Chains A and B, each alone.
Chain A
């Protein structure tokens, strides 16, 4: 009976897996919610803008970590955009095929490097560099903190942003481009007037995906951000991020409220990621070429 109907079996299997994934996400959300219940009850919404994180007196607020996460990720994205766009455009439009293939592979290779290696590299190479710059600017010469973390994040998300940009640019139908050339447009005009508008939604979506990756990055950031759980007062300051405070304090959080507050940070991170993804969807829908 069943074996005569492989279509139905396949359909059922795919449906089950798809639904399973949805339930997995719901389950994660639910676990985070129930794990942070104690802290939600105690601090309420004020948890989000409270500036103190003090495990000794059991006073917890997430603002320092939210600021750290958002600032490092956004700055990383800003640093990455010009590099990602230019390398994506170059690989898709200018580079001869013999060169574009290996170069693209190389960029994708960057995405495969484990984050702890980025962290180590940043510790030994970026830290002295940032320290030198900080001394030039008269900032406290930590070498660690927001600038270093943003830089290492920018480098880590660059391969994602660059390869997505290249892929979507390659999907621009050649007919439209040829039509533009036929009208006498130069290469630059074609790229600016045809390719980029056509693939804008894809490029933005790619950038937002990279932002999502930056928001959740833990290891490399922990190694260079300085892990200072206060709201940073300047861009040169030491800071902390949501992912890294969880990684740091979770194992030894023996008080229930401390543990619960950490889980609530996880919940907030989950919501922020969800928000970024939803935003990406909306932007894609709005920018889609009709």
Chain B
């Protein structure tokens, strides 16, 4: 018949589909923040090993829900799971840090370049709506060399729930008792002042367009849009600009064995205080729901690769590498992953 070629194509498609099914495709879902990095990693990994990783950036909350429901091989989150969430898990879940990112304070002030100095208290009072003008003496005192305009301060925050907001508000709760009492921390909070932009791109858009604005965004967005960033005073008293070095330095502090810690307000002397780790979430015991040993092994190998070789791709995308102390902990955690009680990477 005339349609013989159609059958040929269909046959080839079915055959190649069958052949592809032999190769494992790992499924992941979660945080949007590390998505550019993960897609780069997983693309390189596919070219190297032929193992596909399908990662869907549906948000940290979705990632946690999906790993709890065991519909994915791994979840990803910008905030560690709460005890409440972990209690819902059918088995032990491991938190594996993958990279370090930063929340940067950016602003739109005509004539003021990068490096506006801010202390945690001043930052908190700006976001509480207590400091309302850019030429407020408390800001001027910190920046004697800058000519600050007499503009009203317009706070810009995220309107969507996000891990970025979680890290930022957690930091403000640590440094300001008043913030902790009046607002608290979470992926979405009741903001005392200001306007909300949807996503990093939304906040970036307002920052670019409206003079007098101040907001928090991820480092990559500030770089790509050439927005000025503030130098924040850290716990040691140093004013630190967000750089890949100061982000990485922030994690050179005490990290607990389960890595469920936020590194904001780090005590590392040269660490940027608004740094944040991002995690991949996996089950410690990988034999569940009829998963094959190959699948479990492929996942453990992928994660091992992510925290070692893959780290060299971080900096080009504005994520900091994991420092050695964190890598050592993750290695231990990956080694603890098992299949029917037997370690996957002894």
A binding-site residues for B, Cβ under 8 Å: 52-57, 123-124, 127-128, 131, 140-145, 222-223, 226-229, 238, 240, 244, 247-249, 251-254, 258
Q: Are B61 and A254 interface neighbours, CB within 8 A?
A: yes
Residue B294 at the chain A interface, CB threshold 8 Å = no
A247 to B199, CA, bound (A): 11
Q: What separation, in Å, do the CA atoms of A253 and B186 have in the docked complex? A: 10
* Residue B74 interfacial (CB < 8 Å): no
* A247: chain B residues within 8 A (beta carbon): 160, 198
B301 contacts the other chain (Cβ, under 8 Å)? no
* Nearest CB on A from B99, distance (A): 20
Tell me the smallest distance from the CB of A140 to a CB of chain B, in Å.
7
Q: A56 to B185, alpha carbons, bound, how many Å?
A: 6
Within 8 A of A (CB), among B157-207: 159-163, 183-191, 194-198, 202, 205-206
Chain B residues whose CB sits within 8 angstroms of the CB of A124 once the complex forms: 209
Of B64, B163, B190, B196, the most chain A CB neighbours within 10 A belong to B196
Q: A222 vs B152: C-alpha distance in the bound complex, in angstroms?
A: 23
Are A251 and B190 in touch, CB under 8 angstroms?
Answer: no
Q: A227-B196, A251-B58 are in contact. Are A55 and B210 (CB under 8 A)?
A: no
Question: In the complex, what's the smallest C-beta–C-beta distance from A63 to chain B, in angstroms?
Answer: 14
Bound Cα distance from A247 to B159, whole angstroms: 10
* Cα A258 to Cα B197 with chains together (Å): 20
Q: A57-B184, A251-B160 are in contact. List 12 more A-B contacts (CB 8 A).
A: A55-B186, A56-B189, A143-B210, A222-B159, A227-B159, A228-B196, A251-B161, A252-B60, A253-B187, A254-B60, A254-B65, A254-B85
Residue contact A253 to B61, C-beta cutoff 8 Å: yes
State whether A142 touches B195 (Cβ < 8 A).
yes
Interface bracket on B: 20 to 34
6 A–B contact pairs at CB < 8 A? A127-B209, A131-B210, A143-B209, A249-B188, A251-B58, A251-B161
Contact of B161 among A140, A145, A248 (CB under 8 A): A248
CB of B186 within 8 A of CB of A56, answer yes
Flag whether B154 is at the interface (Cβ < 8 A): yes
Q: Is B59 an interface residue (CB 8 A)?
A: yes
Question: Does the CB pair A226–B195 fall under 8 Å?
Answer: yes
Report B-chain residues with C-beta under 8 Å of the C-beta of A229: 190-191, 196
A254 in complex: contacting residue of B58, B160, B187, B206, CB < 8 Å: B187
Residues of A within 8 A of B194 (CB): 228
Closest to A124 in B: B209
Asked, given contacts A248-B196, A252-B160, whether A55 binds B209 with beta carbons under 8 Å apart, the answer is: no
Interface membership of B115, Cβ < 8 A: no
Q: Which of A54, A252, A254, A258 contacts B190 (CB 8 A)?
A: A54
B62, B85, B162, B198: the one within 8 Å of A223 (CB): B198
Q: Shortest Cβ distance from B230 into chain A, in angstroms?
A: 22
- The closest CB in chain A to the CB of B60 belongs to A252
Q: Which of A145, A222, A251 contacts B62 (CB 8 A)?
A: A251
Residues of A contacting B152 in the complex (Cβ-Cβ under 8 angstroms): 140-141
B73 → chain A closest CB, angstroms? 20
In the complex with contacts A140-B152, A227-B159, A252-B188 CB distance below 8 A: yes
CB distance from B34 to the nearest CB of A (A): 15
Nearest CB in chain A: distance from B49 CB, A: 31
Q: Which residues does chain B contribute within 8 Å of A251, judged by CB atoms?
A: 58-59, 61-62, 160-161
**Chain A min CB distance to B245 (Å):** 30
A55 B195 Cβ-Cβ under 8 A:
no
Q: Which residues of B contact A123 (CB under 8 A)?
A: 205, 209
CB-nearest residue of chain B to A229:
B190
A-B pairs, 7 with minimum CB distance: A252-B161, A227-B196, A227-B159, A226-B195, A56-B184, A54-B190, A251-B59
Whether the Cβ atoms of A254 and B64 lie closer than 8 Å is yes
Give A52 to B192 CA distance when docked, in angstroms. 12
Min distance, Cβ B276 to any Cβ of chain A, angstroms: 15
Q: Interface 1/0s, chain B 74-90, versus A by CB < 8 A? A: 00000000000100000
Q: Which residue of A lies closest to B198 (CB)?
A: A222
Q: Which residues of A contact B59 (CB under 8 A)?
A: 251-252
**Do B195 and A227 touch across chains, with their CB atoms under 8 A apart?**
yes
Residues from chain A with Cβ under 8 Å of B196 in the complex? 226-229, 240, 248
Cβ distance A29 to chain B, nearest Cβ, rounded Å:
24
Report the separation of the CA atoms of residues A127 and B162 in the bound assembly, to the nearest whole angstrom.
25
Chain A residue numbers with a CB within 8 Å of B190 are 52-56, 229
Within 8 A of A (CB), among B313-343: none
Contact across chains for B154 and A142 when beta carbons are under 8 A apart: yes
Complex Cα spacing A143 to B210, Å: 8
Query: In the complex, what residues of B have CB within 8 A of residue A54's CB?
Result: 189-190
Given A123-B209, A227-B159, A248-B161, decide whether A55 and B188 contact each other with a Cβ distance below 8 A: yes
**B162 to A, closest residue via Cβ:** A252
- Bound together, the chains give a CA A258 to CA B161 distance in angstroms of 11
**A60 CB, nearest partner CB in chain B, Å:** 10
Pick from B61, B184, B185, B195: contact of A144, CB under 8 Å: B195
Smallest Cβ-Cβ distance to A258: which chain B residue: B188
B residues less than 8 Å from A249 (CB atoms): 160-161, 188
